[in-house]
Homo-oligomer: A and B are copies of this chain.
Amino acid sequence: MTQTDPRAGVGAVLRDLRERLPEHVLVTDPAQRETYACDGLAAYRVRPALVVLVESADQVAEVVRACACHDVPFVARGSGTGLSGGALPHADGVLVVTSRLRTLHEVRPEDQRAVVDPGVVNLAVSRAAEPGGYYFAPDPSSQQICSIGGNVAENSGGAHCLKYGFTAGHVLSLEVVTPDGAQVTLGTEAPDAPGYDLLGAFVGSEGTLGVATRATLRLTRLPEDVRTCLAGFGGTDEAGAATSAIIAAGIVPAAIEIMDALAVEAAEAAVSCGYPEGAGAVLVVELDGPAVEVEQELDRVRRLCAEHGAVEFRTAADAAERAEIWKGRKSAFAAVGRISPDYIVQDGVVPRTSLPEVLREMGRISAERGVRVANVFHAGDGNLHPLVLFDAAQEGATERAEEVSGMILDLCVAHGGSITGEHGVGADKARYMPRMFEPADLDTMQLLRCAFDPAGLANPGKIYPTPRMCGERPRVVHAADEPSVDGAEVF
């Protein structure tokens, strides 16, 4: 292929789109484009060359076809709340924003289905299903603003995914625009659809296999009863051991969360949640299901916590008290701002049984490097969210924090875990993929990417560390640090 000015490609796409789409969906003004330069991971900023605020699935297909025709990369974006830079734009590419696609086409609690647009907000699905006694189970912390399309792209989880599973388990079929602009359906409403589970491969593919334009979701019945309790422990060792004991007893709580002393301190400073004073760790357990079962399980959780040294145990008597318990946990990330000017939210996984050891090793690293690490995490499935605290104004502090953050991921991989639990790989963790996968495994993943996207135009630079040639159509994927359309766009 001859090397051409990358700006020419976007110019050609824009000319094509002006013939096919209404002008008001095309955003060309640099200042307006700048507002889309990052997602929830603000450390990375790239101003897209063109933004299209699509208003239909057909418009998505038009944009993708124009990009395919002119060899221009495209990135899809929902609400932009992702924490791994999965929706980081491409400087010479088109950003397809789906947030105007907000129609709830069908909500059918009687057969546990909802059919929605990709821009529909996660919580809006649950609100619509609630009168029928159902909800949409995946609950990322950002559920008040994050979109179903983004949940699909990142296979989002949340505190309650221990019991109910990630987004992949709650999507039955998707209408998708593939990177060549074809509009296809993946999956069916029936269980165990014949053929390959392309739906499963698409969910969590972080926008590299195409753009979802409609989703059929599985709704979950609201539980008869929900009980939330909180236990204070001397430290994370005891809280971790109590977690393992609860799971080993055959109880699968809806959520089981641990906050360490530093996280508790931060939450207390921010929202005065009244957690046990001086506790080295707080365990929050939420149980749901039939009332008789929940009541019995609550007794067993109380007993198991006591056996593992709980210094205090409280049960929320009503919804208000339940909200009080969650307030501290949910505010923890933001609250850390009270005790540190800057912080990195890390996301890793270890086998649950390795939790105490990994937490101890993390403590050693923290002490050795002089970098404070607060821990707030989904203990039930070993999904850690260490908050690495630093002050960017201090020389070398950012680098030290990043080093510690990377060491934590190494620790996770060394214990048989993963470099991400629920935030995805995106732009941020592509470099860590070779720590977890052998070259042959990564090559095998590229087979799928190249099959769907031989030209490498769908969200290039995400997930995989090295761009790869696809068959006979060699094409170097533009890295985010290449010269950009109007220059000086890369930060």
A110 lies within 8 A of chain B by Cβ: yes
- Given known A293-B289, A485-B15, contact A421–B69 (CB-CB < 8 A): no
Q: Which residues of B contact A425 (CB under 8 A)?
A: 194-195
Number of copies: 2
- Chain A's interface size range is 35 or more
Query: How distant is the Cα of A65 from the Cα of B422 in the complex, in angstroms?
Result: 37
From residue A7, how far is it (CB to closest CB) to chain B in Å? 11
From residue A243, how far is it (CB to closest CB) to chain B in Å? 13
- Given known A196-B201, A420-B194, A448-B198, contact A16–B482 (CB-CB < 8 A): yes
Is B190 within 8 A of A201, CB to CB?
A: no
Q: Which residues of B contact A178 (CB under 8 A)?
A: 444
Interface residues of A in 257-316 (CB under 8 A from B): 289-290, 292-293, 296-297
B65, B221, B424: the one within 8 Å of A478 (CB): B65
Query: How distant is the Cα of A433 from the Cα of B448 in the complex, in angstroms?
Result: 22
A65 nearest CB neighbor, chain B only = B479
Query: How distant is the Cα of A364 from the Cα of B458 in the complex, in angstroms?
Result: 50
Is B204 within 8 A of A201, CB to CB?
A: no
A70 lies within 8 A of chain B by Cβ: yes
Q: Which residues of B contact A416 (CB under 8 A)?
A: 188-190
A157 nearest CB neighbor, chain B only = B192
Q: Which residues of B contact A185 (CB under 8 A)?
A: 438, 441
Is B419 within 8 A of A194, CB to CB?
A: yes
Query: How distant is the Cα of A464 from the Cα of B65 in the complex, in angstroms?
Result: 27
A43 lies within 8 A of chain B by Cβ: no
Query: How distant is the Cα of A297 from the Cα of B349 in the complex, in angstroms?
Result: 36
Binds B, one of A75-83, A145-153, A449-457: A449-457
Is B489 within 8 A of A184, CB to CB?
A: no
B200, B450, B475: the one within 8 Å of A180 (CB): B475
Is A489 within 8 A of B195, CB to CB?
A: no
Chain B proximity mask over A193-208: 1 for CB below 8 Å, otherwise 0:
1111110110111000
A352 lies within 8 A of chain B by Cβ: yes
A139 lies within 8 A of chain B by Cβ: no
A334 lies within 8 A of chain B by Cβ: no
A417 lies within 8 A of chain B by Cβ: yes
Is B444 within 8 A of A186, CB to CB?
A: yes
Q: Which residues of B contact A49 (CB under 8 A)?
A: none
Chain B proximity mask over A414-456: 1 for CB below 8 Å, otherwise 0:
0011111110110001000100111011111101111110000
A390 lies within 8 A of chain B by Cβ: no
- Given known A475-B180, A477-B69, A482-B69, contact A204–B224 (CB-CB < 8 A): no
Q: Which of A4, A196, A448 is the most central at the interface, judged by chain B CB atoms within 10 Å of its CB?
A: A196
Q: Which residues of B contact A386 (CB under 8 A)?
A: none
A383 lies within 8 A of chain B by Cβ: yes
From residue A452, how far is it (CB to closest CB) to chain B in Å? 6
Is A195 within 8 A of B69, CB to CB?
A: no
Q: Which 9 A-B pairs have the closest CB atoms?
A: A190-B418, A200-B200, A451-B451, A69-B479, A293-B293, A447-B451, A12-B485, A190-B349, A65-B479
| 21 pairs of residues in contact across A and B, judged by CB atoms under 8 Å | A4-B486, A68-B480, A69-B482, A69-B484, A70-B489, A71-B491, A157-B191, A180-B475, A184-B444, A188-B418, A190-B350, A190-B417, A191-B349, A191-B383, A195-B464, A196-B205, A197-B201, A198-B201, A201-B448, A292-B293, A450-B451
